[in-house]
Amino acid sequence: MFYFLRCAGRNMFQSPLLCTAAVGTMTVSLTIVAFFGVIFFNFEELTSYWGRRIQIKTYLETVPGALVLQGWLVEIREYPEVDEVVYVSQAEAFDRFKERLGQNSDLLHGMTPSILPASLEIALKEGFRNRQGVERVVGKLRKNPHFSDMRFGRDWLERFDSFVALFKFSAGILGGFLLFATVFIVSNTIKLTLYARREELEIMSLVGGTPAFIKMPYVIEGAVQGFIGGLLAVVGSYLIFALFLKQSLVSLLFTMGVGRVSFLPLRFQLGLLGAGVVLGVLGSLASLRKFVRIHYS
């Protein structure tokens, strides 16, 4: 193994131009993927933020007694879809309404909290913040005759579901194209660098090198170049994010309710390094298969 590492290192130092071309291509390709990832993850945060606002409100016709209310809260909390249930008394509802009216709150002068119904506000767990999740919970709640008046913004929910579906579909298509383009560009660059060394590969096979022995240093070289490319892509995309992208994303997402933008999660950064190594290894193997094999009868 030490011999192969030494050969790979020597190849890179002796052909700095070819090495730079391969690393540069991988860096640029993976930076574009990372750039796409930053935008995707922050928009996913936005949809997640919107999703957290999905809740079911059920208005109660009469104010329940403490024991009955406690029984309902326990029952609803046991639903697997439910994250949290909050009881909003008439007084709390009145205070909220007053607060919402702001300067016009004097319109409520002379009125008592009894004009507003008490309610239960039900928040859902992350995987159920969609139309199906809401409908399942609503279906269970309907079995209780006291929960007759339920609101969950059906139209908004449908639009939200469609937006999330479209967002994920577009991200999948764009990401797929991007990945395909990256694989194509990287494998062709490696092919060109190995084409420049085809004579060397031919000579190695003529003096008795087995395909595995000939290929190993070039595969290691591909892996090292891929790792360097992945590392530079993470660093490069962070610099682009910090210097140019962050401010624009903050401005855009703040107006939509998300106050914080973040760089790629650690798992995605490690994924980029891994992708660089895999691209380097597979690109080298695919090209070597062609160049090493042709010298055999």
Partner 1 sequence: MIHICNLSKSYQKDSAALNDINLTIGKGEFVFVTGPSGAGKSTLLRMIFCGEKPNRGQVLINGRNVTRMSSSQIPYLRRQLGVVFQDFKLIKNRTLLENVAFPLEVQGKKRHEVSKKVYQALKMVGLENHLTKFPLEISGGEQQRVAIARALVVDPMVLLADEPTGNLDDQTTQEIMELFKGANARGTTVVMATHNQEIIKRHPRRVIFLRQGRVVDDYTP
Site residues (vs partner 1, CB under 8 A)? 3, 14-15, 199-200, 202-211, 213, 293, 295-297
Q: Cα dist. 105→57, 90, 113, 117 in Å?
A: 23, 16, 13, 18
Smallest distance, Å, CB 225 to partner 1?
Answer: 17
Between 67 and 296, name the residue whose CB sits nearer to partner 1.
296
Write down the least CB distance from residue 43 to partner 1, Å.
48
Which of residues 18 and 30 has its CB atom nearest to partner 1 in the complex?
A: 18
Could you tell me the smallest distance in angstroms from the CB atom of residue 175 to partner 1?
39
Selection from 52, 46, 51, 41 nearest residue 262 by Cα: 41
Comparing CB distances to partner 1, the nearer of 2 and 102 is 2
Q: Which is nearer to partner 1, 1 or 66 (CB)?
A: 1
Q: How far apart are CA 185 and CA 23, in angstroms?
A: 12
**Contact 141/150 with Cβ under 8 angstroms?**
yes
> What's the rounded Cα separation, in Å, for the pair 43 and 99?
31
Looking at the Cβ atoms of 106 and 199, the one nearer to partner 1 is 199
Residue ranges of E strands in 27-115: 55-59, 82-88
How buried is residue 74: exposed, middle or buried, by Cβ count under 10 Å (0-12/13-18/19+)?
exposed
Taking the complex as a whole, the smallest distance from the CB of residue 210 to partner 1 amounts, in Å, to 5
